Structure 1
């Protein structure tokens, strides 16, 4: 038996292939949109992919479950509560899958979503591992506030938080201490708030160190779980729905993206310019916002641009452009790309902030802090700053006065580059807009 873990660092997503050497069969759990790594793993091990399990309809990425079924003939397993419209076999409490000396038995573990399941792997009659999806993470548990308006079944966050309390204690904690825990996400995901950097653990280790498994009554647990959850990107509910139906094959979707700079741009459509901020500021096209290519590009693209909203995608090379189109496809946004093209310059720019002048008279500027509210409250930088989190900025631009020059900051420069470009694009010549960038670090106590 072999458990292979696949990691997508950009989305902090973990998926799994369970290989039974004896039967030469593989069952996948929570696969990513790109199915190539799983097909390669099967080929390398001379095994057949016979099953794909979805622990729930994911909010933060598009799954490749339907394409895997279409490509390999593997059966898709998911909870009946999911209401899947793709070909599938329901998989709920009491159901099992057996192949070789391996048996997979399902536990309904609602809490992150009403339709969440966890999968216990039994090898030669002994519980060996549990695949917990977004129910139990290493150091944390899944957030309960993503299904109030999405999915086949919706539920209020308080209700799901209570279900999470019982799922953890009645379904997962009774497992033996030596059972390995394999979650669907690691640190950096927005599906939880305080995950460990570890990618696996054991029930025994989590019993000791995971806050959500400690002795407490239900009311205390619910309060703690609901407090300070991270923001919800715009794309999350869209992905829940798309995963419930199943996405189109990746290569077919990518082939439909129009490559090449349009002869004429629509001024109603943003240009998402992904170049490093120093190049963007030097010269970009009118109507551009600067969402830099980086580790969290997918998250910020899906937080700033709404589902179904068309956008142009620009990069500084063909290699980068192809990479970014694939990143957009991870969250199902390839269909919204009006055109994708390479860019090196543009007719508009952004001036650099005069730091000496700013330091000597910060009151002469309107300062906009685009960090999350909890960050701004915990470690304020400027006492008179207006806090508008980056994911809310487009909807709250009217809260920013333009009687003074505007200076935008975050914690390190990535979000402020995007935020300042959004404000500059909206304010145009009304007032100066500046990005404090990495210089903000000099203002922290």
Structure 2
């Protein structure tokens, strides 16, 4: 068996290639599919199947384009309401890829149509099964039961289905079974995913809070609680994945803009440079989501799908990368771009301070805002901060005084920069970004607080 995991850090997304003999299958592909085509060509294999474990909500998949370019058959669970031809599989169905047997389990819970795939290498019967769990079972967590893919069911009903899938179908498998999920740490498809990209079922039985022995009622309560807010783009991506996304090559390309055009742009001006460069000088009314972090996820969270976007970058290569990564979350309305070196208008700045400098400057006359998620904030935060999660900041900044100096902090400095740009656009006059974030604040032993004890899943 030829096996490869592709991990896309900005979406915390894992996809997989399985090859045997002259055939191959791709599981949960990302939108840009060239890497799978290259892998198949290098191995002298033909992609026979493109398999989706469920209708993904957090990214737009490339299954339709990959199938068109290879002639592969698209596979979904039998409950998936696809708008394109697909083979729908049910419990116990099997397919072969060369000398690899793929057996399917219906595992609803995260979504009604969710499936899990068991891959057995017939050339090596003693090898452990490889289990592709999609968003049913993560490393350290399980799929959240409250997303749009579960429309028509309550979170509690879906959590009950998830319990039956896990405890009735997955946990009875051998402990040495290898677990390969569709996401890792940072994904909003769960609440406490591990940074590990794979594990064994035995290890998960020992360490995963949701797999310890418990009643169905207790599981439903634990899994349904404390889930992060659902980004607005999730339902749109889930719908697009069932309808089929257009090929990337067919998306309209952005045009190069001049300074006047960017100043008068009717939409979101998105600066994709690093936080320090954005702070040192940026176009007024732009927002900063740097390419160096979870760019696509935060862009999808903060920019409504369908909004015209203009990209500000240092190089055309950065523009092209941003265009691709935006398309991965369904933002297909990039109308133009400007290279910052070509801009001849007035620039704005945002002061950057270290955590030690911030600690000396914080006093009752300033505001100190932590834009991390509530669970992160509860575990430990800088003393004197108020928590307004980044995804809620555009709706809740009116709880702050725009005339007061406002310091913004996150975990490491990435989200806080986006927070400062939101506040600047809202008319706040004195904004300061705290570089290094809460992580550095705690490392330096600066005054901190804990507002709640960590739950089992934290």
* TM-score normalised according to structure 1 size: 0.91
Distance in 1 (CA, whole Å) between partners of 2:365 and 2:198 is: 51
Unaligned runs of 5+ in 2: 449-458
Q: How does 1:76-155 map to 2 (within 5 A)?
A: 76-124=74-122, 128-147=129-148, 150=149, 153-155=151-153
Residues 432, 365 of structure 1: alpha-carbon distance in 2 compared, 3 angstrom cutoff? same
Residues 177, 338 of structure 1: alpha-carbon distance in 2 compared, 3 angstrom cutoff? same
Q: How does 1:40-439 map to 2 (within 5 A)?
A: 40-124=38-122, 128-147=129-148, 150=149, 153-253=151-251, 256-262=252-258, 263-265=260-262, 266=264, 268-333=266-331, 335-344=332-341, 346-352=345-351, 359=360, 362-383=363-384, 385-427=385-427, 431-438=429-436
Distance in 1 (CA, whole Å) between partners of 2:173 and 2:436 is: 47
Q: CA RMSD in A?
A: 2.3
Q: How far is 1:268 from its partner?
A: 4.3
Distance in 2 (CA, whole Å) between partners of 1:132 and 1:399 is: 42
The answer to whether the 8 A contact 1:350-1:433 is kept is: no
Distance in 1 (CA, whole Å) between partners of 2:70 and 2:357 is: 63
Residues 168, 405 of structure 1: alpha-carbon distance in 2 compared, 3 angstrom cutoff? same
Distance in 2 (CA, whole Å) between partners of 1:356 and 1:195 is: 33
Distance in 2 (CA, whole Å) between partners of 1:135 and 1:358 is: 43
Distance in 1 (CA, whole Å) between partners of 2:84 and 2:254 is: 28
Moved more, 192-201 or 317-326: 192-201
Distance in 2 (CA, whole Å) between partners of 1:2 and 1:293 is: 32
Three-state SS of the structure 2 residue aligned to 1:228 is coil
Q: How far is 1:88 from its partner?
A: 0.8
Residues 47, 156 of structure 1: alpha-carbon distance in 2 compared, 3 angstrom cutoff? same
Three-state SS of the structure 2 residue aligned to 1:411 is coil
Distance in 1 (CA, whole Å) between partners of 2:247 and 2:377 is: 41
* TM-score normalised according to structure 2 size: 0.88
Residues 402, 178 of structure 1: alpha-carbon distance in 2 compared, 3 angstrom cutoff? closer
Q: How far is 1:90 from its partner?
A: 1.0
